[in-house]
Chain A
Amino acid sequence: MSQPAITVNNVSKRFLIGAADEQATTFYDALSSLLLSPLKRFRRLSQKASSAEEFWALKDVSFEVSEGEVIGIIGHNGAGKSTLLKILSRITEPTDGRIEIHGRVASLLEVGTGFHPELTGRENIYLNGSILGMTRAEIDRNFDAIVEFSGMERFLDTPFKRYSSGMGVRLAFAVAAHLDPEILIIDEVLAVGDAQFQRKCLGKMSEVAGSGRTVLFVSHNMSAVQNLCQRTVLLDHGRVIADGPSTEVVDHYLHALNEQSSSGAELSSVSGVSVKVDIRGLQGDLCKPNEPVEFVVDVTTEEPISEGHLAIGIDDHHGIRLTTLNSYLQSTEAFQFEHRARFSVQWDRVNLTPGTYWLSISLVNSLNRVAHWERGASFVVSEGDFFGTGRLPDPNHQGNFMIPVKWTVTTDESITGAKEPSP
């Protein structure tokens, strides 16, 4: 008869778009609308429902989390994940509905909340720990462990403003990793630091997840969600559209993504830039290993591009970035154009193992990202005899790439033979 740790019941959150117009932004406006135009106010009030454009960031969201359960929350940008976390963390209130939480909650919507540049590392550990909800005694008790985890022993008495951003993140995560609440709410904080530190963080996360604590984990990292969470909730346009075992829900999500955007997708216009991707050289709908494929990207911008670069990221179906085809890395020459450009990226021998792959596209101007489309198009690589041996790779266990390397085998006699002259 274990009681659910979190019960979310028909929670909705409404934002008013153009609320800046509705609600006075300056006190003068408020005063004038209050004193000078009661008629207008009255009219506004009477048509309130129609005049304000409503946007429901969350609509009738319900789910339960049992004690000790580790649950993932996924969905694309704008699906309502952050709003849900903010409501669960009590940062903002729901417009409607009710949430019951049993236990002490700590929420990590970012690492290093409240770090002050003028304070030293040691002082910031105390300040940040306290802001995250640790008691002073807890910080005292965990202090050495935090310092050791961060690896910042030498810089403890250095003002935080002299830390590099990487050092700052380490210290911040170290504090966060030593929170000891009954319920932990985490938003994508793992995407920090270098690879080694990320591994350390993921390790700490699975430790937390395995310790019987209730964890709510929001992420775009599908493999992290699948590894850490038994159960996942999928949000779309503010509603729960799937709730179940992580593998199933993640598949559902990726499948839906796949349908939305196949090859030849017209990517929606962002800030005056539009991009169309065409994948050529497919046989049927499939891309064959060892065969050529061509990504043709048509870009239309309102502003001229003076020092442009284009990057095409390739993700596997777990959402893991495999590689990036980046003009900045490959050629020192930037391109420039007024309004329209067509890029053709020729890949002579596709060496991917079978599966679905996504393309993300970034347009960069003068080293600033002008536009970015996360997983805007996808293609499927079929099975194929890449090496011409008649043998096929197993994509589930043998990775994403096939790389033709040169195998040389040296056998017993020649090894001993090679050894003899060396001394």
Chain B
Amino acid sequence: MTSSTAPSQPEIPENSSGSAHPLRATVIEARGGWQAVDFQELWRYRELLYFLVWRDVKIRYKQTVLGATWAIIQPVMTMVVFTIFFGKFGGMAEGSDFPYPILVFSALLPWTFFANSVSQGGNSLVNSAHLISKVYFPRLLIPLSTVGAPLLDLTISLGVLAVMLGGYLYAGVGNVVISPQLVLLPLFVLITILTAFGVGTLLSALTIAYRDFRYVLNFLVQLWMFASPVAYVLGGETGVPEKWWNLIALNPMTGAIVGFRRCITGQNIPWEVVGISGLSSCLFLLIGVMYFRRVEQRFADII
């Protein structure tokens, strides 16, 4: 019982294994209800994920004059605006021994990543309608791939942050330090990614059935920013009083942003806040992916 096509497919390990059936078997039938995530399949399609991200990165700044500089300009301009309006006029910069621009910028990095990922993730399925109706691949790759390009922007912005920190250190302005807590930075980036992917996935699946969510998306992201400690901090004279911390930690971006920022300022990380946000983030991820998988089989029919 061997396959006559085996010689033409030497790179597929199943063929050379000599097992009872050398060819990959696929069963197609109606599946109802909740579906588990098929990690094996996702892994098999990892190259497609790479190409989808690669495409997004390639086309992101095509036919723009400034190109990838936009990845820097966006958060830097927001930082300037925030520093002027919230810092100077809003008085939020007072009482902080750390330069306010850095406080804002270190929060804007995870936030900008989150906002871009969620906006693009939410629209991703609708924008990929032509793919969904013509070819099969695990649909989760679509919202997953939208995280890629913003992640590249985040990396670029981290370079800008490093330059800013260096500048403040060199000039000796403010109480800038190089904190050993910086090694924890990837943890908070991870929480941000998980949250962004979870929320983006949920919104993408909702948008395909109810186009209303295209409009919800915009102001949801705006409101969400004010619910997250981007322009303000936790604790201190101008920050959120400690009694509210556990409540606002229910917003997964609270823990991500606070943790990210404190890695840079070297302040103590409020692990309870981070823990609650981390759990909340996992919950968003779970709900997003579960809902997505549940309605996935109808995508091609209703798109």
A interface with B by C-beta (< 8 Å): 1-3, 15, 23-28, 30, 67-68, 86-105, 107, 109-110, 113-114, 116, 118-119, 123, 126-127, 130-133, 135-138, 180, 182, 211-213
B271 within 8 A of A: no
Chain A CB within 10 A, most for which of B27, B29, B63, B216: B29
B89 within 8 A of A: no
Further 5 A-B residue pairs, CB within 8 A, beyond A103-B3, A118-B62, A119-B55: A24-B210, A130-B50, A135-B47, A136-B50, A182-B23
Contact yes or no, B133 A91, CB < 8 A:
yes
B37 within 8 A of A: no
Task: Report Cα–Cα, A118/B54, bound state, in Å.
Answer: 13
Interface of A is mostly: loop
Contact yes or no, B28 A94, CB < 8 A:
yes
CB within 8 Å: A-B pair count: 134
Q: Which residues of B contact A113 (CB under 8 A)?
A: 130-131, 134-135
Q: Which residues of A contact B51 (CB under 8 A)?
A: 126-127, 130-131
B155 within 8 A of A: no
Q: Which residue of chain A has its CB nearest to the CB of B56?
A: A116
Q: Which residue of chain A has its CB nearest to the CB of B215?
A: A27
Q: Which residue of chain B has its CB nearest to the CB of A12?
A: B30
Q: Which residues of B contact A93 (CB under 8 A)?
A: 28-31, 297
Of the candidates A89, A97, A103, A105, the one whose C-beta lies within 8 Å of that of B5 is A103
Contact yes or no, A97 B134, CB < 8 A:
no
Contact yes or no, B27 A26, CB < 8 A:
no
Q: Which residues of B contact A86 (CB under 8 A)?
A: 300
Contact yes or no, A30 B210, CB < 8 A:
yes
CB distance from B22 to the nearest CB of A (A): 9
Q: Which residues of A contact B58 (CB under 8 A)?
A: 118-119, 123
CB distance from A3 to the nearest CB of B (A): 7
Interface segment among B6-14, B105-113, B250-258: the answer is B6-14
Interface of B is mostly: mixed
Q: Give the B interface residue count (CB, 8 A).
A: 46
Q: Which residues of B contact A90 (CB under 8 A)?
A: 26, 28, 136
Task: Report Cα–Cα, A182/B24, bound state, in Å.
Answer: 10
Q: Which residues of B contact A2 (CB under 8 A)?
A: 1
- The answer to whether residues A89 and B135 also contact, given A99-B27, A119-B55 and a CB cut-off of 8 A, is yes
Contact yes or no, A88 B134, CB < 8 A:
no
CB distance from B46 to the nearest CB of A (A): 10
Task: Report Cα–Cα, A406/B30, bound state, in Å.
Answer: 66
Contact yes or no, A100 B5, CB < 8 A:
no
CB distance from B13 to the nearest CB of A (A): 12
- The answer to whether residues A92 and B301 also contact, given A27-B213, A113-B131, A113-B135 and a CB cut-off of 8 A, is yes
Task: Report Cα–Cα, A26/B206, bound state, in Å.
Answer: 10
Task: Report Cα–Cα, A93/B47, bound state, in Å.
Answer: 25
- The answer to whether residues A114 and B131 also contact, given A137-B11, A212-B4 and a CB cut-off of 8 A, is yes
Of the candidates B3, B24, B134, B301, the one whose C-beta lies within 8 Å of that of A109 is B134
Contact yes or no, A99 B133, CB < 8 A:
no
B137 within 8 A of A: yes
Contact yes or no, A135 B135, CB < 8 A:
no
Q: List 30 A-B pairs, Cβ < 8 Å.
A: A1-B1, A24-B210, A27-B206, A67-B3, A67-B5, A92-B297, A92-B300, A93-B297, A97-B30, A98-B29, A101-B25, A101-B27, A102-B23, A102-B24, A103-B5, A104-B9, A104-B24, A105-B26, A118-B63, A119-B58, A123-B55, A123-B58, A127-B51, A127-B54, A127-B55, A130-B47, A131-B131, A138-B11, A182-B23, A212-B4
Task: Report Cα–Cα, A84/B30, bound state, in Å.
Answer: 14
Contact yes or no, A94 B134, CB < 8 A:
no
Task: Report Cα–Cα, A2/B23, bound state, in Å.
Answer: 12
CB distance from A20 to the nearest CB of B (A): 9
B59 within 8 A of A: yes
List 3 A-B pairs, minimum CB-CB distance, nearest first: A27-B210, A90-B136, A99-B28
Q: Which residue of chain B has its CB nearest to the CB of A89?
A: B136
Task: Report Cα–Cα, A85/B5, bound state, in Å.
Answer: 22
